[in-house]
Structure 1
């Protein structure tokens, strides 16, 4: 009798499991891909414990999410790259302490932050916009740690050079905006050439651009086709002669302790840029990530979070020792 009950129970579990699997497959194929992405992102936000907020400055709305509360240790402001939004960092912050105050911003024109085609999206102008945001939420009441990747890294470097008293530490992940000895290594030139050859420029950013990885990555840019005019405008503003080398032109003015992370297999921004930055910024360190392309936050979230946290803690320790000396 006990054996029969056990068999019945196992059959029920198997049937329930099969129905669940069929339901998931059906939902995946019937729901629009964008809606699936939004569900996935909503779920990750809940798991990470982040809260989405909005703040306005003279009619301009910034959208961001944060986790934790400001405390004795510096807060961290985290900037994403071109065509993405704040959610690209959800995988990385999974591996960061929940008591660390994090602010992930939708960059000007991206995500749910106001998009105005009449605005300039050159690096210096975006840095000014971000400074407005920082002042609005009072993040600069004391120095904070600034993190940026790709376009966000370019702008983070410009910000650190122009507002040095506000930045306690700087982490740059494969930033754009450098001048290379070989012009073929220019990131904007590579992106421009790739966009002519293929509509799938995101493939260029991955070390392993499998179908699965491409589908997951595009989940963070589900609405990019609707923003095509803005993305073209933003790219042209960033890559114009006055903005193209903004990080290079400002890097010698960066005084904050600086960390440079770069994927060894980056096909967008040549990894030799790490040494260019290291030579120009006295208080800097470089980490090269194996089996990693340009989109570090997506491909190597655990490793990059570990390196970011180690650097953040070392900067905090040095600042504390300086106070005690």
Structure 2
């Protein structure tokens, strides 16, 4: 009997120990693999399914949940050097019945890489329009959400294809002429004055640089273990040349102020969400949009930086839903189409 008990104990211990040891080994030796598993698990938990849309040799990767219904579909555009999974923290707090699509921006993650023209703001707008048509999202007006670079693209998209847009949410959007310069812009100006094209804070190459980037983008100070910082760097390093190419394209003259130059063409109801402590693109941009579009609804978040989606996901989801519901309550051509 004692031997049977001992055998059962050893079997039970082995069953528990193997996953634990595998986790510890992944954490210490392969943190980048652990990060990928983390996103996979989170997508699965939230019911987001990864799909692909092929358009004449060009492939979009996106995640989707739900089907078109009473509420407008929501298309979410991420920022520079991130990917569709950055929206998971917000999706968690959105109603499960909503039709939500999060697409990898041109060249990012699972979406095709082609040439630099696709990475300009207008080039990205053309590609996102191609995606919208390929998944037939344009059949009914949809709500478009974009953050940072994605906010620049979203705003120009709404200006270019106004009939497709039910409403627009811009979160800390790039692409404006800001009354005040941010810490990040001042750093870029110093690099330019020194004739240096490397050392861009949004393209880290070491764990220390990754930690500095997180501090730049977030007001909330997250304590990130060194292994995770290394994993985040390992995931990004193979793509840093691409990120450099994209960055140089979106700061060119024809892209840098693209949203500013097109904002007067936006006709859809617009909501702006901005962290007051944003060090990447200055919060003074909110007043620029509010003055240009008097009906614009502005929400400034205290103790929040550029990474609004990560720092205030519940608040962001609530603001987006409240805005959509309020717009559906207005007797407008858009709301009639969705009734």
- TM-score interval for Structure 1 and Structure 2 normalised by the shorter chain: 0.7 to 0.9
* Partners of 1:306 and 1:215 in 2: CA distance: 33
Q: Which residue of 2 aligns with 1:98?
A: 96
Query: RMSD in angstroms over aligned alpha carbons?
Result: 3.0
Residue 196 in structure 1 maps to residue 199 in structure 2: yes
Cα shift at 1:33: 1.1
* Partners of 2:227 and 2:152 in 1: CA distance: 26
Unpaired runs of 5+ residues, structure 1, are 1-14
Q: Which residue of 1 aligns with 2:305?
A: 293
Cα shift at 1:236: 0.9
Q: 1:29 to 1:133 in 2, by over 3 A?
A: closer
CA offsets 1:262-313 (integer angstroms, 9 cap, x no match): 0011000101111111111132111111221101111111111111111111
Q: Which of 121, 146, 167 lines up with 2:165 in the alignment? A: 167
Q: Which of 69, 74, 79 lines up with 2:77 in the alignment? A: 79
Instruction: Please identify, of 173-182 and 102-111, the stretch whose mean Cα deviation from structure 2 is larger.
Output: 173-182
Cα shift at 1:158: 0.3
Q: Secondary structure at the match of 1:63?
A: strand
* Contact 1:217 1:298 survives alignment (8 Å): no
* Contact 1:65 1:104 survives alignment (8 Å): yes
Q: 1:53 to 1:100 in 2, by over 3 A?
A: same
Cα shift at 1:223: 2.6
* Partners of 1:223 and 1:185 in 2: CA distance: 28
* Partners of 1:152 and 1:213 in 2: CA distance: 29
Q: Which residue of 2 aligns with 1:245?
A: 257
* Partners of 1:257 and 1:205 in 2: CA distance: 28
Residue 68 in structure 1 maps to residue 80 in structure 2: no
Q: TM-score, normalised by structure 1?
A: 0.86
Q: Secondary structure at the match of 1:291?
A: coil
CA offsets 1:25-62 (integer angstroms, 9 cap, x no match): 62343441110001110110111001111011110000
Q: Which residue of 1 aligns with 2:147?
A: 149
Q: Which residue of 2 aligns with 1:3?
A: none
CA offsets 1:217-262 (integer angstroms, 9 cap, x no match): 8877763211111111111111001111000001111111000000
Cα shift at 1:24: 7.1
Aligned ranges for residues 253-264 of structure 1 at < 5 Å? 253-264=265-276
* Partners of 1:86 and 1:191 in 2: CA distance: 26
Q: 1:168 to 1:190 in 2, by over 3 A?
A: farther
Cα shift at 1:197: 7.4
* Contact 1:179 1:186 survives alignment (8 Å): no
Q: TM-score, normalised by structure 2?
A: 0.83
Instruction: Please identify, of 162-171 and 206-215, the stretch whose mean Cα deviation from structure 2 is larger.
Output: 206-215
Q: Secondary structure at the match of 1:318?
A: coil
Cα shift at 1:323: 4.0
Instruction: Please identify, of 250-259 and 315-324, the stretch whose mean Cα deviation from structure 2 is larger.
Output: 315-324
Unpaired runs of 5+ residues, structure 2, are 1-12, 192-197
